[in-house]
Chains A and B, each alone.
Chain A
């Protein structure tokens, strides 16, 4: 590993043990949102500077995950989100991970530590402005958007996204 990359990992993980101590296990379900309100706007660029707009994804089921590299449950749940996305490849399912308040270098350093590069786009919100629009209080927070652009499910705290119960909830939304 190059020296710069090693330094990046050291900086990223500095003090992380304090945050990661004795955390609860990842939960296995999402909370249904009876109101099914329209999802707020989400238009951000990804790590490759490519634009993504939630509004253009009508007709698809979209998992929107808000996270940061320093957030232990975010780091724990991300591989399961990738497994779910790979499992549902070929269906109208899209996963978007929105990083809050960090730059591309920091995220690339984190990705280099993963066993597999995420198969979904990682979007950047370096000034944490989108969080106010979505009224998010803590990380990680996740929303499942139905094909009509409405918030169908939510989750506060870490999830095992490829758990059968969550996969069942997603597949139910994918049914025509």
Chain B
């Protein structure tokens, strides 16, 4: 198994005052140039991205207010939406930037806080069980289901998908996300390091 890593620590290079598209972003590139951390100048929200072995994985912070607004607009009560928004929420994008098909299972992903043990992510089925118990309307549950990152999926060249992933961590917490996938017969892994949960107000 091979591993690519996000470097957003002391070794990163700051790229500032660049024109056009990058004006809206503060962008830090790793020394290798393959991975990056960025901050949206307008929203203050941060992203972490790794490009390795034919895959692009990107996490972008979703603010608590954005999560509340999205789910309340789709039929969740404020209390139900708060169950979700109280967690650390990220827009998660996986894209096949190589030539081999990529297969992933969210149950193979792990997040690690400090020196703690690797933990699994809560998937769609577990969330749905929560919403059924809470009496969330069917239409809201359908919207929720499709807004989450898929539990399992195959991406051919050029395919990509997005969805939310959650982590039961306090605001501002940091963690590493270990992403495992298969490309052809090869088992691959990359780690997004030092990812940070959004603050209550970015």
A residues at B contact (CB < 8 Å): 11-12, 14-19, 21-24, 27-29, 31, 68, 70-73, 100-103, 126-128, 137-139, 154-158
Contact = CB atoms under 8 A, between A and B. Distances in A.
7 contacts: A17-B43, A17-B66, A18-B91, A22-B93, A100-B142, A138-B149, A156-B155
Contacts of A128: 142, 145-146
Contacts of A15: 66-71, 73
B156 interface: yes
A28 B157 CA distance: 11
Interface string B133-160: 0000011001101110111111111111
A60 to B, nearest CB: 25
A70 B155 contact: no
A71 to B, nearest CB: 7
Given A71-B146, A101-B139, A24 B70 contact: no
B4 interface: no
A152 to B, nearest CB: 14
B107 interface: no
Contacts of B158: 27-29, 31, 155, 157
A126 B91 contact: no
B49 to A, nearest CB: 8
Interface stretch (B54-62, B170-178, B180-188): B54-62
A24 B40 contact: no
Closest 7 CB pairs of A and B: A15-B70, A101-B142, A14-B73, A18-B66, A157-B160, A15-B69, A31-B156
B166 interface: no
Given A22-B58, A22-B60, A71-B146, A138 B66 contact: no
What does DSSP make chain A's interface, helix, strand, loop or mixed? loop
B160 A18 contact: no
Most B Cβ at <10 Å: residue of A127, A128, A158: A128
Nearest to A68: B146
B66 to A, nearest CB: 4
Contact of B143 (A70, A72, A73, A156): A70
Given A27-B159, A128-B146, 13 more contacts: A14-B73, A15-B70, A15-B73, A19-B147, A22-B47, A24-B93, A27-B160, A72-B162, A100-B142, A127-B138, A128-B145, A138-B150, A157-B162
B160 A156 contact: yes
Contacts of A31: 156-159
B72 interface: yes
B43 A23 contact: no
Nearest to A131: B146
A155 B96 CA distance: 12
